[in-house]
Structure 1
Amino acid sequence: MRAIPAGLAGHLSEGVTTLCRCWTLTRRDGVVLGFTDHDRDLVVSGVTHSAGTGLEAAEATSELGFAVGTGDVSGALDSAAIEEGDILRGLYDDASVEIRLVNWADPAQHLLLERASIGEIRWQDDSFVAELRGPLHRFDEEHGLIYRATCSAELGDARCRVDLASPAYRGEGTVVETDGALRLSADGLAAHPEGLFTAGRLLWTGGANAGDAIEVESHRVTEAAVSLDLWQRAARPIVAGDAFVVTAGCDKRLATCRDTFANVPNHRGFPHLPGNDFIVKLPVQGEAGLDGGSLFR
């Protein structure tokens, strides 16, 4: 049962209340921001919660058991603290949010209603809508060893051990042509085979996006140019001359681990584990592979 502070409980028992909601948001980089749906700024728990941000709460749900409660918070980009570029960079992904009920006439009287995390952020009519996920969504995250055909390690991490600093898996390039957001052709990558940087990571080292990183969707090589497509729009326009460093990607298959990285001893998948197709497959007379012997001879 939730304990309501005595001062706020007394206020709630009165015939007229002066209540509002405050959101305290802590980004992954440690920046703390405060917002309120009241018409003036409020200081709650040492954090200034700004009014006039266009922020408002939508419907929220709570679930019994281990089901994940969800809700939405939406608003226009009216606050100087919220920049579209920061949202595109992912600084608000999985940010923590504390939602409080506050007596705006006496901000010392407040009650923590919920803790949540920012989930999907989508654009709608020149404003953003951020999904709020309850704490139980952490139980949906993968932890420990996962039995699956593809590798569970991330390319270059301590389990994979591929050295992404090696020139074989790393390239430095400069933008030659671009659509300004998702597609570019570049100099400096001609020595690398097509597809090496697909699913890799591109880090901008020059230009307006310097310091930002984006995943590569595809890497193509033609006689005319080396082209990269990005999974997400750059936070700021890409222009010719922007410099970047791009590292290899991996589709996590055993064949790629063997042929591209010569790293089979560190492959963290189970490629010989029978899948659903094997379970439902019926034996056919004369067909090899369903005689009780090894599937990999």
Structure 2
Amino acid sequence: MTATTIARAWMVRRADGMVLGFTDHDAVLTFDGIRFRPDHGMSARALVQATGLSVDNSEAEGALSDDAITERDVLAGRWDGAAVKMWEVDWTDPSARRLVFAGSLGEIARSQGAFRAELRGLSEPLNAARGRVFHPRCSARLGDGRCKLSLSGETFTAEAAIAEVEDGRILRFSGFPAYEAGWFERGRLLVLGGGAEGLGATVKNDTALPGGGREIELWQALGIAPVAGDRVRLVAGCDKRAVTCREKFDNFLNFRGFPHLPSEDWIMAPQAGGNRG
């Protein structure tokens, strides 16, 4: 290939299977069953790839357009973690190409109708901690294969229609099912319908209101705010303590923590308060 016929092409694949292709060439390129459009929906800075396990120093940026990457989808988190590949291509012969990057989109920021996303290489997951952590609190996630608690039914899950939304993160309900105050704190909220369908967040505060009402405060507002009438599903919260596992969920047999570990003070000074000899 000669330098005058080199173009760059990007493929982005979301978790739901949607695929988009972009190129900095002035005409459409097609290979691997993907149509790479020259609409500047995405571009990227020069790659600075590390030989170790650090994040590759590069960013992808582009315009938020209706037929490519929309602001609504970015706010909804639908592009988070999307797979990315980048090629250098001879536009006169697309079969003559070289893969120069493969990885995923990291943190995505938006500003003035455009987005900027960190590119993370394939080695990035190797930076994550591996192995079991010995800690007094449970290391499982509520309802996962290690916890084994069934979240089906009305004991730990409730569905209701929103009556009022304040600041995008405080949701109020009327005629809410009877649960003790704080039952859903640290739990999850999932939007089941409307423009924010599929979005989820963690519950910060759960307050029972007079007359059977409920107020749910989220730690962070959803990317797309739900509106009155949208239905949501709430899952009970777990603070990972052994007493909560035993008394709230009756699931202590599957508790994945070490509640009888000595405190850090004992580890630093094991002779304190004990026999010296």
SS at structure 2 position matched to 1:255: helix
**Cα shift at 1:236:** 3.6
Structure 1 residues 169, 292: closer, same or farther in 2, change over 3 A? farther
Q: Report matched runs for 1:1-297 at 5 Å.
A: 8=1, 11-12=2-3, 17-58=4-45, 60-78=47-65, 80-179=67-166, 181-223=168-210, 225-274=213-262, 276-281=264-269, 284=272, 288=273, 290-291=274-275
Structure 1 residues 28, 65: closer, same or farther in 2, change over 3 A? same
**1:174–1:240 Cα contact (<8 Å) kept:** yes
Aligned length: 276
**Cα shift at 1:59:** 5.2
Cα shift readout 1:49-86 (whole Å, capped 9, x = no counterpart): 12223422135432233334242111220351322232
Which shows bigger deviation, 138-147 or 198-207? 138-147
**1:23–1:98 Cα contact (<8 Å) kept:** yes
TM-score normalised over the length of structure 1? 0.81
**1:40–1:52 Cα contact (<8 Å) kept:** no
SS at structure 1 position matched to 2:243: helix
Give the structure 2 partner of residue 4 of structure 1.
none
Structure 1 residues 81, 171: closer, same or farther in 2, change over 3 A? same
Cα shift readout 1:190-237 (whole Å, capped 9, x = no counterpart): 511222212322222333333443333332223374111234443444
Question: d(CA) in 1 for partners of 2:261 and 2:22?
Answer: 50
Unmatched segments (≥5 aa) in structure 1: 1-7
Cα shift readout 1:239-297 (whole Å, capped 9, x = no counterpart): 2121122111222222321232121111111233346444334755xxx3x4489xxxx
Question: d(CA) in 1 for partners of 2:160 and 2:210?
Answer: 17
**1:86–1:235 Cα contact (<8 Å) kept:** no
**Cα shift at 1:180:** 6.2
SS at structure 2 position matched to 1:167: coil
TM-score normalised over the length of structure 2? 0.87
**2:189–2:203 Cα contact (<8 Å) kept:** yes
Structure 1 residues 276, 92: closer, same or farther in 2, change over 3 A? farther
**1:93–1:119 Cα contact (<8 Å) kept:** yes
Unmatched segments (≥5 aa) in structure 2: none
CA RMSD of aligned residues (A): 2.6
Question: d(CA) in 1 for partners of 2:61 and 2:220?
Answer: 21
Question: d(CA) in 2 for partners of 1:163 and 1:155?
Answer: 9
Cα shift readout 1:122-157 (whole Å, capped 9, x = no counterpart): 223442211111111111235553333322211112
**2:76–2:224 Cα contact (<8 Å) kept:** no
Identity of aligned residues (%): 37
Question: d(CA) in 1 for partners of 2:29 and 2:112?
Answer: 29
Q: What is the letter of the counterpart of residue 257 of structure 1?
A: C
Question: d(CA) in 1 for partners of 2:32 and 2:220?
Answer: 36
Question: d(CA) in 1 for partners of 2:198 and 2:25?
Answer: 36
Structure 1 residues 125, 247: closer, same or farther in 2, change over 3 A? same
Structure 1 residues 211, 58: closer, same or farther in 2, change over 3 A? same
**1:56–1:74 Cα contact (<8 Å) kept:** yes
**1:187–1:226 Cα contact (<8 Å) kept:** yes
SS at structure 1 position matched to 2:158: strand
Question: d(CA) in 1 for partners of 2:266 and 2:57?
Answer: 38
